[in-house]
Structure 1
Amino acid sequence: MTSVADPTTTPSAGIDPTRWPDVARVPDAPIRAAVAGRLLARIARRHGLRIELPGGRMLVPAPAGAATLRLHRPGDFLRRIGAGGLIGFGESYQAADWDSPDLVALITSLATDPSTLVPPGTRWLRRLYVQRPPATELGSTEHAPRNVQRHYDLSNELFALFLDRTMSYSSALFPTDVRSGAPLADWHSLPTAQHRKIDRLLDLARVGPGRTVLEIGTGWGELAIRAAARGARVVSLTLSAEQLALARRRISEAGLADRVEVRQCDYRSAEGSYDAVVSVEMIEAVGRPYWPTYFSTLDRVLAPGGRVALQSITMPHERMLATAETYTWILKYIFPGGQIPSVEAVAQSAERHSSLRLTEDRSYGPHYAETLRLWRERFTARADEVAALGFDPVFRRMWELYLAYSEAGFRSGYLDVRQFLLTRGDAR
Structure 2
Amino acid sequence: MTTTHPRPVTTPRVPGARSAPVDPARWPDVAVPPRTSRARRATAAAVVRRALDRLPLRVRFADGDTVGLGGPLVEVHDPDAFHGRIGAQGLIGFGESYMAGEWDAPDLVGALTVLAANAAELVPAPLQRLRGLWAQRQPAARRNTPEGARSNISSHYDLSNDLFALFLDETLSYSSAVFLGFPSRQESIAAAQRRKIDRLLDLAEVGEGTRLLEIGTGWGELALRAAARGAHVTTLTLSREQRDRAVERAHEAGLADRVRVELRDYREETGTYDAVVSVEMIEAVGAEFWPVYFRTLDDRLAPGGRAALQAITMPHDRMTAARDTYTWIQKYVFPGGLIPSTDAIEETVRDHTGLRAARRDDFGAHYAETLRLWRERFTEHADEVDALGFDETFRRLWTFYLAYSEAGFRAGYLDVQQYLFTKESHAR
TM-score by length of 1: 0.93
- Is residue 26 of structure 1 aligned with residue 36 of structure 2? no
- Is residue 171 of structure 1 aligned with residue 176 of structure 2? yes
The separation in 2 between residues aligned to 1:265 and 1:78, in whole angstroms, is 44
Change (3 A) 1:395 1:129: farther
Shift of 1:24: 1.1
The separation in 1 between residues aligned to 2:272 and 2:224, in whole angstroms, is 20
Task: Check conservation: 1:360, 1:421, Cα contact below 8 A.
Answer: yes
Change (3 A) 1:128 1:348: closer
The separation in 1 between residues aligned to 2:178 and 2:133, in whole angstroms, is 42
Task: Check conservation: 2:74, 2:104, Cα contact below 8 A.
Answer: yes
1:40-55 alignment, distance < 5 Å: 40-54=48-62
- Is residue 35 of structure 1 aligned with residue 40 of structure 2? no
1:197-212 alignment, distance < 5 Å: 197-212=196-211
Task: Check conservation: 2:8, 2:32, Cα contact below 8 A.
Answer: no
Comparing 43-52 with 258-267, greater Cα deviation is found at 43-52
Specify the code of the residue in structure 2 equivalent to 1:81: I
For 1:138, the equivalent position in structure 2 comes to: 143
Shift of 1:48: 2.3
The separation in 2 between residues aligned to 1:351 and 1:95, in whole angstroms, is 45
Task: Check conservation: 1:279, 1:310, Cα contact below 8 A.
Answer: yes
For 2:215, the equivalent position in structure 1 comes to: 216
The separation in 2 between residues aligned to 1:77 and 1:192, in whole angstroms, is 42
Specify the code of the residue in structure 2 equivalent to 1:383: A
Q: CA RMSD in A?
A: 1.4
Specify the code of the residue in structure 2 equivalent to 1:23: V
Shift of 1:12: 4.8
**Which deviations, in whole Å up to 9, do the C-alpha atoms of 1:311-353 show, x marking residues without a partner?**
0000111111111101000000000011111111111111111
The separation in 2 between residues aligned to 1:415 and 1:267, in whole angstroms, is 26
The separation in 2 between residues aligned to 1:183 and 1:169, in whole angstroms, is 20
**Which deviations, in whole Å up to 9, do the C-alpha atoms of 1:229-270 show, x marking residues without a partner?**
001100000000000000000111011001000000000001
The separation in 2 between residues aligned to 1:52 and 1:238, in whole angstroms, is 46
- Is residue 183 of structure 1 aligned with residue 183 of structure 2? yes
For 1:230, the equivalent position in structure 2 comes to: 229
Shift of 1:203: 0.3
1:297-376 alignment, distance < 5 Å: 297-376=296-375
TM-score by length of 2: 0.93
Unmatched segments (≥5 aa) in structure 1: 1-8, 177-181
Specify the code of the residue in structure 2 equivalent to 1:11: V
Task: Check conservation: 1:347, 1:357, Cα contact below 8 A.
Answer: no
**Which deviations, in whole Å up to 9, do the C-alpha atoms of 1:157-200 show, x marking residues without a partner?**
00000000000000000012xxxxx42236x6100000000000
The separation in 1 between residues aligned to 2:271 and 2:159, in whole angstroms, is 31
Specify the code of the residue in structure 2 equivalent to 1:280: V
Aligned residues: 410
- Is residue 72 of structure 1 aligned with residue 77 of structure 2? yes
Shift of 1:118: 1.6
Unmatched segments (≥5 aa) in structure 2: 1-6, 12-20
Task: Check conservation: 2:120, 2:318, Cα contact below 8 A.
Answer: no
Q: What's the secondary structure of 1:321's corresponding residue?
A: helix
The separation in 2 between residues aligned to 1:138 and 1:228, in whole angstroms, is 34
Comparing 114-123 with 279-288, greater Cα deviation is found at 114-123
Identity of aligned residues (%): 57
Task: Check conservation: 2:178, 2:195, Cα contact below 8 A.
Answer: yes
For 1:5, the equivalent position in structure 2 comes to: none
The separation in 2 between residues aligned to 1:124 and 1:142, in whole angstroms, is 34
Specify the code of the residue in structure 1 equivalent to 2:199: R
Shift of 1:425: 3.0
For 2:24, the equivalent position in structure 1 comes to: 17
The separation in 2 between residues aligned to 1:166 and 1:289, in whole angstroms, is 32
Superposition misfits of 4+ residues, deviation over 4 angstroms: none
For 2:122, the equivalent position in structure 1 comes to: 117
